[in-house]
Amino acid sequence: MSQLFTPYSLGPLTARNRIAIAPMCQYSAENGDATDWHMIHLGHLALSGAGVLFIEATAVEPVGRITPGDLGLWSDQNEGALQAVVRAIRRHSTIPLVVQLGHAGRKASSAAPWEGGKMIAPEQGGWQTVAPSAIPHAPDEPTPDALDDAGLQRVVAAFAESARRAHRLGLDGIEIHAAHGYLLHQFLSPLSNLREDRYGGSLENRMRFPLEVYDAVRAAVPASMAVGVRISATDWVEGGWEIEQSTAFAQALKARGADFIHVSSGGVSPLQKIPVGPGYQVNFAARIRHDTGLPTIAVGMITDPAQAESIVASGQADMVALARGILYDPRWAWHAAAALGGSVEAPQQYWRSQPSQYRQLFGATTTGQR
């Protein structure tokens, strides 16, 4: 029996299989509001047969957006716009929905990738960014403001309020974004955090603010809602954040009751040197899972069904997540199930599409046509 197509629980959230759709920024919101694009994009991914769908990085305050087109969850209007998308999905799919809440920190106020991705100056429609320390991401970029105590409290409160909105929307979980060089990762990494107060210096101090955010989010929603964290396991830069520190952070999260950890890498420095290749981040997930026992999701060029099956069956990770690969092939889970002898949930309207040699692909027996 394929292990990839067995159920798995991330705390109170149970997925039908071990395939997750990773959060993927679409840069297509309006003032943080979900648009028709999100209805189409998330709607068709909800019919993919995957076990859980992560909604893209969603800013907890306007200055925390990566781009002006980022999805947000800081206002009633944001909440209402996303509610329309969630309601449509719920009418046609049982896939669990998890929102990734984040804050871009010093990497905010940027143009969309297809517009070059460069930082946008305030006089050109951007905004002043914030960070742990007044150090720009790249030497030619504007300097962020270092967050003071009031700013830190504001950000924690924003995460908690967005979490409450996520719960009101009826979402199944929250993933706190502490990866890819965004604000919480900036606090963790010694490359971006040069503070001399209780939030900087030692590993314990650098973990303090991300853990305060986790605690606030966990306290803001009931135990019936899963809460986990996305991390970058290494900065891929000498002297930066690395796997031993990631393991210590994961252990601290587990002690606080975290339901899962989602393991990525990089993003905090343009000096990173990443040896990209199939499954290049899986070993980090395996290390964290082995050392902590925390339910672990692996991501990073996982494209082949046999590769995904091996990762789960060998115990390297409990789930695998696909991003670009599932944009390219939104029915990846169907094709993986066909290759591995599994089955997926599919809408009745599509039951007639299963090839005759895969009659149990959808677990359905009525596939005739009048």
pLDDT digits (tens, 9 = 90+) for 187-246: 999 999 999 999 999 999 999 999 999 999 999 999 999 999 999 999 999 999 999 999
Helix or strand (DSSP H, E) at 355: none
- Considering only CA atoms, which of 324, 190, 182 is closest in space to residue 266? 182
Q: Name, in order, each residue with C-beta under 8 angstroms of 364's C-beta and a sequence gap of 6 or more.
A: 346, 348, 351, 354
**pLDDT recorded at residue 360:** 85
Q: Give the pLDDT score at 354.
A: 87
pLDDT of residue 96: 98
CB 328 within 8 A of CB 334: no
- In one-letter notation, the amino acid at residue 77 is Q
For the record, the structure tokens of 66 come out as 């990566």
And the tokens for 90?
A: 């719920």
- Indicate the SS3 state at residue 83: helix
Q: What is the mean pLDDT of the chain?
A: 96
pLDDT tens readout for residues 79-128:
999 999 999 999 999 999 999 999 999 999 999 999 999 999 999 999 99
Q: Is the pLDDT of residue 366 over 60?
A: no
Cα–Cα distance, 54 to 70 (Å, whole number): 15
Element (DSSP H or E) covering residue 69? none
**Spatial separation of the C-alpha atoms in residues 39 and 84, rounded to whole Å:** 8
CB 42, CB 71: distance < 8 Å:
no
Stretch (H or E) spanning 228? strand 226-232
Maximum C-alpha span of the chain: 73
N-to-C CA span, the chain? 34
Contact predicate 48/331, CB 8 Å = yes
Query: pLDDT digits over 273-330, tens only?
Result: 999 999 999 999 999 999 999 999 999 999 999 999 999 999 999 999 999 999 999 9
Which CATH number applies to 3-358?
A: 3.20.20.70
b/e per residue 231-240 (b: at least 16 CB within 10 A): bbbbbbbeeb
Cβ atoms of 197 and 238 within 8 Å: the answer is no
Sorted by where each begins, the domain ranges of the chain are 3-358
Tokens describing residue 111: 């143009």
- pLDDT reported for residue 369: 53
Angle, in degrees to the nearest 10, between helices 332-340 and 305-313: 70
What's the one-letter identity of residue 370? R
Phi-psi region of 149 (alpha: psi -120 to 50; beta: other; left: phi over 0): alpha
Contact 298, 313 (CB under 8 A): no
H or E, element range at 257: none
347: nearest Cα among 329, 369, 322, 367: 367
Q: Cα–Cα distance between 336 and 306 in angstroms, integer?
A: 8
| H or E segment and range at residue 254 | helix 243-255
Alpha-carbon dihedral 29, 300, 185, 125, rounded to 10 degrees: -30
Q: Where are the beta strands (DSSP E) in 51-119?
A: 52-59, 71-72, 97-102
Closest by Cα among 253, 120, 129 to 192: 129
For the chain, counts of helices (H) and of strands (E): 10, 13
Residue 42 to residue 55: CA distance in whole angstroms = 8
Please, which residues have CB within 8 angstroms of residue 303's CB and are 6 or more apart in sequence? 278, 322, 325
Contact criterion met (CB below 8 Å) for 171 and 99 = yes
Q: Grade residue 158 by pLDDT with cuts at 50, 70 and 90.
A: very high
- 44: its two tokens: 């068709």
User: Can you state the angle between helices 149-168 and 203-220, rounded to 10 degrees?
Assistant: 40
List, by residue number, the catalytic residues: 182
Report the pLDDT value the prediction gives residue 151, as an integer from 0 to 100. 98
